[in-house]
Structure 1
Amino acid sequence: MTTKPWILGLTGGIGSGKSAAAQHFIDLGVHVVDADHAARWVVEPGKPALARIVEHFGSDMLQADGQLDRTALRNRIFADADERRWLEALLHPLIGQEIIQYLARAESPYAILVSPLLVESGQHRLTQRILVVDAPEQLQVERTMVRDQSSNEQVQAILKAQASREERLRHAHDVLLNDRDLHWLQTEVERLHSYYLTLRGGQI
């Protein structure tokens, strides 16, 4: 009888380095599910969620090839909190179902759910433990501007829509301060991985 893997939630604000941390956990053999990927799967052509989005927001939410026009949708919901709430109410349960199915396939001692909205979306309830990749806000802004070629204002708007740093840290069992280079981040991930392998069910 194999024991079911426990689930670690991995989160962090934009530009914190959570994707780089997740990638290193994957390199160490940990089963990782990315909520952003699940969010893309549920709105693929032919899925009911896409039809509901078009019905609600109109056909200008579709690209010529029938795929969701994410930029158009993002612009609409960032401008209107009610519309954002409508979309979240539609997508969050569907994304949750996708995540649960993918986590169930894990064969590593623990599995990781990576989600930028782990706390806000309620996805943290699927996890037994939470790791927050944290970075000073100024560093988050600089990294994101370089990575996405975006303006300071655009990054600030995204930061405002995400849970505050304090809110994320309040839920954290572990915090990885990622204010140095990639080598430092990977060393910290390896240290945490060794520790997590000693845990049963995510607790000491």
Structure 2
Amino acid sequence: MLAHILRRLLIWVPSVLLVMLGVYALAFYGAGDPIKLIFLRAPGDVAYDPVKIEAIRAEAGLDRPFLVQFFSYIGNLLQGNFGNSLTSGRSVWAMVSAAAPVSAALGLMTIVVRALVAVPLGMVAGLRQNSRLDYVILGTAVALWAIPPYVAGPLLMVLLLAVLPDGAVPYGWGGIFSVKVILPLIVLSFQPIALILR
């Protein structure tokens, strides 16, 4: 068993490093210059100064060769240093840790909704196998599986804006019992419920 785990780790580590290298290469060679993009997004009174751009690029370490930047990135990740956002200047770790509790609460609520909806419906479909109800449940599951979250989100937003009271626009975070949780909860539950039902 230990040999199997070690073998898997020996395969996993290089695989993750190769994927990271590929993604980093795509960002390095394909995304354009992030410093110039920051200047383009700045208000109109900011002058485009090539000397200033080069100074900011050197300060951010973006003037170094690709492999030097990549291994510096890996070293920083291993130390837990995610750096600062180039656009806001805030610590990436602070930004992620501020959003993590909301994501965790929403994820746990989604698991509860999946269990409360999919398990009873799956039991009904199993008990009434090949009946009209079974076909309706499984047909609904296939339809839900076919709707990607990026399509379901805007459609449900329009629907919920028409149904919910004016103060309950589904954006922001008002706690786990807020009306604003309905939209992300439904969108995140669609496909998992369909998968459990199937």
Q: TM-score when scaled to structure 2?
A: 0.25
Give the structure with the higher percent helix. Answer: 2
Compare CA radii of gyration and give the structure with the larger one: 2
Give the structure with the higher percent strand. Answer: 1
Q: TM-score when scaled to structure 1?
A: 0.24
**Which of structures 1 and 2 has the larger relative contact order (alpha carbons within 8 angstroms, sep 6+)?**
1
